[in-house]
């Protein structure tokens, strides 16, 4: 327990440094978390392509245990990306994020999207210095995930329920999932979307741009 507390305390110190660095440059940093296969990368790809004409700089930190496949997908979509491979590690931490950001030329006013390692447990414990936390689930998963992994949903600001296009083909009760999530976190915002078809994505873009505006320093 003492070792765990020391690790988390050390991470928190670095996270606060990251947060101050982001704030000093009007960077809106978002920590995206989910189980594997929920569609985080697909959401990021569509977001980058659809926001390309809005003059909003977007960069991505990609967290995976191995390979650079997701970072390559992000670059192909049109955004700068740095791949962070954690090896056997199950999450990103503030130190990894600081090193990843050092490789990105983040313009003032940027949105930094941090795609965490696919895991609904460990990433919830580690502050990266982000301004907002977004948890992604999909209709191909169980609608009881918020109750099974409460800390993840309790620490999130936004829940994205992805893959709505597959809803007719699976057993997933959207209202039940939302109810479970709100039992854990009554303040949790929820958006329903499909990265495949684009359904619901404009509301996600509106949220991103509105939150970015909140961290921008007055002109």
pLDDT digits (tens, 9 = 90+) for 187-217: 999 999 999 999 999 999 999 999 999 998 7
Q: 27 and 110 in contact (C-beta within 8 Å)?
A: yes
**Which carries the bigger pLDDT value, residue 48 or residue 9?**
48
CATH number, domain containing residue 7 = 3.40.50.300
How far is the C-alpha of 127 from the C-alpha of 208, rounded, in Å? 19
Q: 93, 91, 84: which is closest to 61 by C-alpha?
A: 84
- Give pLDDT, residue 218: 77
Average pLDDT for 17-30: 97
Task: Retrieve residue 90's tokens.
Answer: 């199950």
The number of domains in the chain is 1
pLDDT digits (tens, 9 = 90+) for 62-113: 999 999 999 999 999 999 999 999 999 999 999 999 999 999 999 999 999 9
Q: 207 and 191 in contact (C-beta within 8 Å)?
A: yes
How far is the C-alpha of 20 from the C-alpha of 95, rounded, in Å? 14
Q: 152, 142, 145, 143: which is closest to 90 by C-alpha?
A: 152
Q: Is the pLDDT of residue 6 over 60?
A: yes
Give burial (CB, 10 Å; 0-12/13-18/19+) of 111. Answer: buried
- Give pLDDT, residue 4: 59
Q: What is the DSSP string of 156-170?
A: -SEEEEE-GGGGGGS
Q: 186 and 158 in contact (C-beta within 8 Å)?
A: no
- Give residue 160's domain range: 2-215
pLDDT digits (tens, 9 = 90+) for 141-176: 999 999 999 999 999 999 999 999 999 999 999 999
- Give pLDDT, residue 8: 82
Encode 139-152: b = buried (16+ Cβ within 10 Å), e = exposed. bbbbbebbeebbeb
How far is the C-alpha of 193 from the C-alpha of 181, rounded, in Å? 17
């Amino acid at each position: 327990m003492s070792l765990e507390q020391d690790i988390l305390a050390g991470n928190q110190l670095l996270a606060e440094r990251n947060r101050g660095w982001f704030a000093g440059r009007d960077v809106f940093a978002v920590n995206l978390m989910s189980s594997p296969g929920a569609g985080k990368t697909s959401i990021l790809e569509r977001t980058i392509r659809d926001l390309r004409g809005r003059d909003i700089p977007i960069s991505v930190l990609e967290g995976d245990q191995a390979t650079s496949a997701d970072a390559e997908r992000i670059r192909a979509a049109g955004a700068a990306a740095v791949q962070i491979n954690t090896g056997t590690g199950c999450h990103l931490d503030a130190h990894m994020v600081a090193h990843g950001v050092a490789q990105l030329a983040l313009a003032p006013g940027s949105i930094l999207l941090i795609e965490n390692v696919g895991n609904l447990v460990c990433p919830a414990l580690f502050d990266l210095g982000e301004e907002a936390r977004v948890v992604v689930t999909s209709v191909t998963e169980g609608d009881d995930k918020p109750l099974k992994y409460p800390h993840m949903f309790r620490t999130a600001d936004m829940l994205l329920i992805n893959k709505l296009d597959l809803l007719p083909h699976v057993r997933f009760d959207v209202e039940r999932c939302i109810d479970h999530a709100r039992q854990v976190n009554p303040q949790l915002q929820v958006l329903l979307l499909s990265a495949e078809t684009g359904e619901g994505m404009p509301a996600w873009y509106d949220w991103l741009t509105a939150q970015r505006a909140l961290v921008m320093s007055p002109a």
